[in-house]
Structure 1
Amino acid sequence: MVMELEVRKKDIKRYRDGYPLIIKDSLLHPEELKEEGKVFHLVDSQRRFIAKGYYGKQNKGLGWVLSYKEGEKIDYLFFKDRLLKALQKRSSFYQDSETTAFRVFNGEGDGIGGLTIDYYDGYYLTTWYSEGIYSFKDKVIQVLDELGDYHAIYEKKRFDTKGRYVDGDDFVKGERGDFPIFIKENGMNYAVDLNDGAMVGIFLDQREVRKAIRDTYATGRNVLNTFSYTGAFSVAAALGGAVKTTSVDLAGRSKPKTIEQFSANAIDFDQQDIIVMDVFDYFKYAKRKGLLFDMVVLDPPSFARSKKRTFSTAKDYPGLVQDALGVTEKNGIIVASTNNATFGMKKFKGFIEKGFRDSGSRYKILDEFSLPGDFQKNRDYPQSNYLKVLIVKKLN
């Protein structure tokens, strides 16, 4: 007998209309959920079927809807169907020799919230966002096995309700990789390591932005890349003809990782500046020294805490824009990015407007980006389209 959980009257229509995230406040008795991975039915007060989901605690909610068919079994064939459909949508990526890393399966966008699968030139990386979805691991791996033609499968476990990474050996099966391996993205080379903690060395969702920087915006510019991580934007700018790049990140390992990325593209890293420093301290330093840049890249984490300060994109982004404008030349460009899913593009544009207005500057939006095509979105869940990027020109 499948467990039934009654949905509050106010939320019944939302779930009938396709909303995929199961939220605690939508259920009359969420305390009945005890075992992660348990499949249950959402029902109305008359016990009429609404949807079938699984229990898997994340920071977002209690689990995800898997099916709107009452008789559909959540078995190997279910996972095979969803994964094959997703792979079919990405078939052109497998044929592209210029781009050898992309997202194969994108959670709720492909019908199974809490699971993503990325492909890195012969290596699959599965990311599990709850113990609940991890309980289906064998079925997912079996599908990838049946497809075959891979070197190895690795995994990341983000079971903590705050999305924290569960440390350990990330190897699942196949032939262990000799990392770093080098993937291609629109002809650029990037080093990735699938077995070195939570991050792998590049964020695949920024592919189109990096291409635009290289092909359209970087030529002849002096570029400041803040929150630079491994310097992927800096590499794109350098390959696009930037006069110089300056990469700034607080993490100590960002410097050797950025050197690695430059070296992978035969760029002389000694001709670039790679600085391990708090970005906000660097803004103050740059203003003191009278340093100005023709392009500033802003891609901060949604939330960050250091010894000195706490930063949240939801409330601090306008101030970040102001800081950037203080070191940006007239007619310079700001690449403003956020992956915060709690607000949309309209609100983000409001942050940009406020930052410019408070600085007494005028601006023009030259370009905007959201997720690339392999990051399939769920039209009934706007938060799935989390990436927002604006390329903005400072006019005065």
Structure 2
Amino acid sequence: MSSVQYPTASLKPHKDESLLGGHLWIFSGALQQPPRWVEPGALLDVKSSTGQFVARGYYNPQTDIAIRILTRDNAESIDGDFLRKRVREAQELRRVFVPSVTNAYRLIHSEGDGLPGLVVDRYADILVAQVHTLGMDRLLPQVLEALLAETGARGILLRNESQARRREGLEVEEPRVAAGEVPQQIEIFENGVRFIVDPWRGQKTGFFLDQRDKREALRKYARGGRVLNCFSYSGGFSVYAALSSEATQTVSVDASAPAIEAARQHFALNGLDASKHEFHTEDVFEYLEQAAERGERFDVVILDPPAFAKNQGARTQALKAYRRLNTLGMQVLRPGGILLTCSCSGVIGMDDLLGVVSNSAQRQKRTVQLLESYTHGVDHPTNLAMPETNYLKSVFCRILA
């Protein structure tokens, strides 16, 4: 038993089954009564309806997920040693990356690494952290100490801009340095490819690390072809495609002018002549419609849009948007061409995405061959007991006539 005594909350009968199976969330309806004597964000013990210890976590009465579990070991106190152990365990997994080849990856992936509410991305010797929950926010000073001690990072930037913090009763903050020094730009390596990350203003924490393995997989399909990269952001997929062969031609389309400019810079950074490739600052849907009218055809089309659904209520409209996008993408794809299509909407599952692709192909009387399917990547592990925390789905398909 832990040397620290924590307040307790009791579950209704049979509500401990998912926890015993490894789930890390307890919804408010599973509690016998709200533990009003427990301060929001505080640590507590969870007991079964018969009074047996089940787990230890933090509590927030303001959210549907009332308790998020940190440990099921009664002897484990939630302190600096506990947090250092979790960071060490996370680092152990990331040793699959050779620093001279890949020095940017997700270090802490929330529930997947046993630290709900915390995301930490590593860019060379700089860490960029996001805290999404009240309980984790209260642990932040100890979290920062653990990260510095275990990683040897030169600086830590906090990016607490997520609107999800408001549901937890937290303020949405401007980016701020939490430790050391954090530059405006960081050069990183990913599979030997060079990129510049803006940790202060870039999307997410500065780069889409969860698409690393898909970018690498793209090389073999892109070689020598004409590649259309939709929602290209800073050109990650485009650079990988262009590096596959001097004969490869890429077209990058994004609504953000700064993102398109960053893509041009990334071409130059990797010794590629940007003038041999196309860059368009346009709405993707409009570009695809106009490209189809012009009769343009591509050997590879990449569809990597932002999340079309943030919650279950937006699911129906999101599916319509995905169907429209994939239909347009197929219209500019030559017979036998490769479609890489993605969804980062948590409420859209892999079966939903495959259904969208199949439906879009049927509308055009085309046949689909599923070639490869991916989720987040090795540095974004998923707790197998929590499939609802999966968010990214990516598939490579061959679209026949």
Q: Is this a same-fold pair by TM over 0.5?
A: yes
Deviations 1:215-239 (A, max 9, x none): x111121111111111111111111
Shift of 1:57: 8.3
CA distance in 1 between partners of 2:23 and 2:296 (Å):
49
1:168-207 Cα deviation digits (max 9, x unpaired):
2332222332x32211111111110112255344211111
Q: For residues 108 and 243 of structure 1, what CA distance do their matches in structure 2 show?
A: 40
| Residue 173 (structure 1) aligned with residue 179 (structure 2) | yes
- Could you say which residue in structure 2 is the equivalent of 1:293? 298
Moved more, 35-44 or 125-134: 35-44
Moved more, 182-191 or 160-169: 160-169
Which residue is equivalent to 1:231?
Answer: 235
Amino acid corresponding to residue 259 of structure 2 in structure 1? S
2: CA distance between counterparts of 1:310 and 1:250? 23
Contact 1:57 1:161 in 2 (8 A): no
The 5 Å alignment of 1:169-318 reads 169-177=175-183, 179-196=184-201, 198-214=203-219, 216-241=220-245, 243-303=248-308, 313-318=318-323
Mapped pair 1:328 → 2:336:
no
Are the equivalent residues in 2 in contact too, given 1:156–1:198 (CA < 8 A)? no
Query: Could you tell which deviates more after superposition, 362-371 or 310-319?
Result: 310-319
- Listed one character per residue, the Cα deviations across residues 140-165 of structure 1 (whole Å, up to 9, x for unaligned) are 11112223532211121145327899
One-letter amino acid of the structure 2 residue matched with residue 196 of structure 1? R
Task: Compute the displacement of 1:9 (Å).
Answer: 3.5
> Cα gap change, 1:211/1:19 in structure 2, threshold over 3 Å: closer, same or farther?
same
Instruction: Please tell me whether the aligned partners of residues 255 and 275 of structure 1 are also in contact (alpha carbons under 8 angstroms).
Output: yes
1:363 counterpart = 2:381: no
The reply to whether residue 107 of structure 1 matches residue 95 of structure 2 is no
Shift of 1:362: 0.4
| Residues 308, 321 of structure 2: 8 Å contact kept | no
Q: Which AA in structure 2 matches 1:144?
A: L
Distance 1:126 1:237, change over 3 A: same
Partner SS state of residue 14, structure 1: helix
Asked if 1:87 corresponds to 2:100, the answer is no
CA RMSD of aligned residues (A): 2.7
The unaligned stretches of length 5 or more in structure 2 are: none
**Does 2:130 match 1:127?**
yes
Q: Per-residue deviation at 1:371?
A: 2.4
Superimposed CA distance per residue, residues 234-287 of structure 1 (whole angstroms, 9 cap, x where no aligned partner): 111111126321111222322222222222212222322222222111121112
**Separation of aligned partners in 2, 1:379 and 1:300:** 26
Report the AA paired with residue 8 of structure 2. E
Indicate how the Cα distance of structure 1 residues 390 and 163 shifts in structure 2: closer, same or farther if over 3 A, else same: farther
What corresponds to 2:21 in structure 1?
A: 17
2:351 — aligned with what? 346
Q: How many aligned residue pairs are there?
A: 390
Question: Matches of 2:338 and 2:344 in 1, distance apart?
Answer: 20
CA distance in 2, matches of 1:20, 1:330: 46
How far apart, in 2, do the equivalents of 1:58 and 1:221 lie? 53
**Equivalent residue in structure 2 for 1:39, among 35, 43, 52:** 43
CA contact (8 A) 2:288 2:332 kept: yes
What residue is the counterpart of 2:53 in the other structure?
49
Distance 1:59-1:321 versus aligned 2 partners, 3 A rule: farther
Query: Is the alpha carbon distance of 1:5 and 1:197 closer, same or farther for their aligned partners in structure 2, counting shifts above 3 Å?
Result: farther
Q: CA deviation at 1:54?
A: 1.0
Query: Equivalent residue for 1:147?
Result: 150
Cα distance in 2, alignment partners of residues 394 and 352 from structure 1: 10
Partners in 2 of 1:279 and 1:59 — Cα distance? 36
CA distance in 1, matches of 2:36, 2:278: 56
Q: Is the 8 A contact 1:156 1:166 kept in 2?
A: no
Retained in 2: the 8 A contact 1:190–1:202? no
Distance 1:62 1:300 in 2: 32
- In 1, the alpha carbon distance for the partners of 2:166 and 2:266 equals 27
Per the TM alignment, residue 43 of structure 1 is displaced from its structure 2 partner at its CA by 2.6
CA shift, 1:21, in A, is 2.1
1:70-81 alignment, distance < 5 Å: 70-81=74-85
Q: Is the CA contact 2:309–2:346 (under 8 Å) kept in the aligned structure 1?
A: no
Q: Flag the 1:251–1:27 CA change in 2: closer, same or farther, 3 A.
A: farther
| 1:270-305 Cα deviation digits (max 9, x unpaired) | 322222222111121112222211111011122279
Q: Answer whether contact 2:90 2:107 (CA < 8 A) is retained.
A: yes
Q: Give how far 1:345 is off.
A: 2.4
Structure 1 residue 65 corresponds to structure 2 residue 52: no
Instruction: Say which SS state the counterpart of residue 11 (structure 1) adopts.
Output: coil
Q: Distance in 2 between matches of 1:153 and 1:224?
A: 36
Distance 1:46 1:205 in 2: 42
Q: Is this contact kept in 1: 2:28–2:61, CA < 8 A? A: no
